[in-house]
């Protein structure tokens, strides 16, 4: 089932993984792939440069920064 999120100017369709092939075009699939690769590269660069990485804990529904020394600060 596709979930629609409506904003003031735009609406977003949230498509479950099981229906992705049916609802997305080849261009959208390519953009998704490139976006995921860009995020992976940015996280990898942050780790190499020893910078904090922003993450989200779905269980507690909170965002936090994970520092290279392992400490965690909720934001």
Would the pLDDT of 52 be above 80? Answer: yes
**Considering the entire predicted model, what is its pTM?**
0.68
Residue range 63-69: average pLDDT?
96
Would the pLDDT of 11 be above 90? Answer: no
Percent of the chain at pLDDT exceeding 70: 100
Which phi and psi (to 5°) does residue 5 adopt? -115, 120
CB 30 within 8 A of CB 22: no
Query: Which residue range is the domain that position 60 belongs to?
Result: 3-74
Would the pLDDT of 6 be above 90? Answer: no
pLDDT of residue 40: 97
pLDDT of residue 22: 81
Select from 30, 63, 31, 69 the least CA-distant residue to 50. 69
| 69: CB partners within 8 A, 6+ apart | none
Domain total for the chain?
Answer: 1
């Amino acid at each position: 089932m596709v979930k629609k999120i409506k904003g003031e100017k735009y609406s977003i369709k949230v498509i479950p993984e099981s229906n992705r092939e049916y609802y997305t075009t080849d261009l959208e699939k390519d953009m998704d792939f490139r976006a995921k690769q860009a995020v992976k590269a940015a996280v990898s660069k942050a780790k190499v440069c020893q910078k904090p990485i922003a993450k989200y804990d779905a269980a507690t529904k909170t965002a936090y920064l994970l520092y290279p020394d392992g400490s965690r600060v909720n934001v």
